């Protein structure tokens, strides 16, 4: 009887361990997520996943359920067809896609709302790229400052690359909170940007 009680306790502990973390479901259609219609599978990668996950696509639709210890940025890539990838935030809830942007959970909704607002900036400055870039960079700087611990700030930084120079991007990253700077996506972004800024000096030698 004592052995049975120990066995049941061990099972309970194991079950509790397996259920830890935030359960998320990632689902959508290739069209709404803006992936190539020829895509047959997607690859999900994140620091909070033990290994990359391959998500099959059937009839243009995909779905995957998993768990993460904390909200974190992930990259979702199309394996076949035209190469494309997008950043999303893995967190508790159902994550879907609209107009190529992730939504359905707080972090993803926050990021998507911000990205949509940035998309409208060029309409305010038709033909004036300098004014567009200045306003977009300022908007990103404010969002990142207002969300010092949110993974959505990483997505905001990613869109800044469309408007900011490599030097401005490095400044944006270095002015971000440690939680944002330490994200692996941001660290890689910074390495690539610094390599770009160093090229002219290297070429002139």
Summarised one tens digit per residue, pLDDT across range 141-152 is 999 999 999 999
pLDDT for the residue numbered 194: 82
Bridge pairing between strands 22-29 and 41-46: unpaired
Per DSSP, the residues of 163-196 read TS-HHHHHHHHHTS-HHHHTSHHHHHHHHHHHHH
Q: How many CB atoms lie within 10 A of CB 58?
A: 9
Summarised one tens digit per residue, pLDDT across range 158-198 is 999 899 998 999 999 999 999 999 999 999 998 988 887 77
Confirm if 42 and 62 have CB atoms less than 8 A apart.
yes
Confirm if 93 and 105 have CB atoms less than 8 A apart.
yes
Residue 166 backbone phi and psi in degrees, to 5: -55, -40
Summarised one tens digit per residue, pLDDT across range 106-156 is 999 999 999 999 999 999 999 999 999 999 999 999 999 999 999 999 999
Q: How far from 48 is each of 24, 75, 171, 173, CA to CA, in Å?
A: 12, 11, 27, 22
Which uninterrupted H or E stretch holds 92? none
pLDDT for the residue numbered 10: 42
Which uninterrupted H or E stretch holds 20? none
Helices (H), the chain: 2-18, 30-33, 106-119, 121-124, 129-146, 152-160, 166-174, 178-181, 184-204
- Both tokens of 175, joined, read 């002015």
Confirm if 139 and 121 have CB atoms less than 8 A apart.
yes
Single pTM value for the model: 0.82
């Amino acid at each position: 009887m004592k052995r049975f009680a120990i066995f049941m306790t061990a099972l309970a502990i194991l079950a509790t361990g397996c259920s830890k973390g935030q359960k998320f479901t990632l689902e959508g259609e290739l069209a709404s997520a803006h992936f190539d219609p020829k895509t047959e599978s997607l690859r999900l990668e994140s620091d909070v996943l033990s290994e990359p996950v391959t998500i099959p696509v059937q009839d243009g639709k995909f779905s995957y359920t998993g768990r993460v210890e904390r909200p974190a940025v992930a990259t979702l890539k199309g394996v076949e067809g035209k190469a494309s990838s997008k950043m999303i935030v893995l967190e508790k809830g159902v994550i879907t896609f609209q107009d190529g942007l992730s939504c359905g959970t707080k972090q993803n909704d926050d990021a998507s709302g911000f990205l949509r607002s940035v998309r409208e900036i060029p309409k305010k400055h038709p033909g004036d790229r300098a004014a567009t870039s200045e306003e977009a960079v300022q908007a990103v700087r404010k969002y990142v400052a207002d969300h010092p611990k949110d993974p959505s700030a990483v997505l905001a930084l990613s869109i800044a690359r469309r408007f900011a120079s490599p030097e401005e991007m490095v400044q944006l990253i270095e002015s971000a909170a440690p939680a944002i700077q330490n994200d692996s996506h941001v660290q890689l972004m910074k390495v690539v940007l610094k390599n770009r800024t160093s090229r002219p000096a290297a070429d002139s030698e």
